[in-house]
Amino acid sequence: MKKIVLGFSGLLFLIACNNKRDNVKTEEQATVEETTDKRAVNPYVASIEEAHNKNKFLKEEVVSFNLNLSFGGKERINGKLTLATNSSKGRLDYTNGKTILYNQDGIYYSNNFESTQGIGFDAYTWSYFFLFPYKLSDPGTKWADYTATDSLSKSHNTKKLLFEAGTGEAPDDWYITYANKGNNRVDYAAYIVTANKSQEEAEVDPHGIRYINYKEINGIPIAHSWTFWAWRDGLGFTKQLGEAELTNVEFRKEEEKEFIPSTDFIKL
C-alpha cells in the first residue's frame, strides 16, 4: 500500500509570488505547469478525473466522514476519517477514543493504544482508498495497458497503474482500475500490497475494492459503500471479503490544529 504523504502523493505545490509583474511567471512556476501538463495528457486518467470532479474536489480544504468497516463479519474500523483534500494530512478518530494522525512530519498516535501493530496501515490505507480517483496522476505514477478478460470487460475500460522506482515505501505495488464506460467513474480497482513481502509473494493473493452507492456532495460524486474482494487475473472479483459504509460525508474548512498531534501523542 502506498504512503499517502510521500509515497502516494508527493504533490507539487505552487509557490505564490508577490511579483509586481503580474504577467511574468517564475521559472519554478513554469516548471510546475509543464510537469502538470505532461501528466494530464493521458486521456484515460483525464476522463476519470473529470468524472470525479477532481478540480472541484481540490478546491475544498477538508473532507470528513464516518467509516464503519468489517472483514469476515468482524468489525475492523469504526470511527471518523478527516482528510486534507490534497492528501498531505489526515486523522482517524476511533469511537473507542483512540486517534491516529499523519502530516508532513510522519504518523502520530494517542497514548491509549495497546500495540503499534497496524497503526501505519490504518493511517494511510483507508485514506488512500477514499482518495484513489484523485491520485491517478500523482508524480511517480505510470500507466500500462491491461486488457481485462473477466465479466466486467464489456462494461469497463481497464488499465494498470504502476509506480516509478523510489516512489514511496512500496513502489512495487500496482492497481488495475475499472472505469465505467458509461460515466468514467471508478467502479472497481484490483491491487497488491507489497508491505513486508516481495512483489512475487503479493501477486499470489491480489485483492480488489468495489466502489458503489455514489452520491453527490457539493457536486462531487462520492462512493458511500465499498466492498473488498479476492481478485484473480482472468477471473476478476471472485469472493467478497469485507465491506465498508461511509456516512455523514462533508466538505469544510480546516480547523486550527486538527492535524497537529497533542503533546501526549507518540510518533510512530
Render pLDDT for 49-104 as a digit per residue (tens, 0 to 9).
Answer: 999 999 999 999 999 999 999 999 999 999 999 999 999 999 999 999 999 999 99
d(CA 183, CA 179): 8
Note the Cα 239 to chain centre separation in Å.
Answer: 23
Render pLDDT for 201-222 as a digit per residue (tens, 0 to 9).
Answer: 988 999 999 999 999 999 999 9
Q: What is the pLDDT of residue 1?
A: 57
Query: Mapping DSSP to helix (H, G, I), strand (E, B) and coil, where does residue 225 land?
Result: strand
Q: Structural domain boundaries of the chain? A: 24-78+125-248
Render pLDDT for 69-83 as a digit per residue (tens, 0 to 9).
Answer: 999 999 999 999 999
Whether residue 29 has pLDDT greater than 50: no
Contacts of residue 197, defined as CB under 8 A and 6 or more positions apart, other chains included, come to none
Contacts made by residues 212-215, CB under 8 angstroms, sequence distance 24+: 212/187, 214/185, 215/249
Tell me which of 246 and 21 has the higher pLDDT. Answer: 246
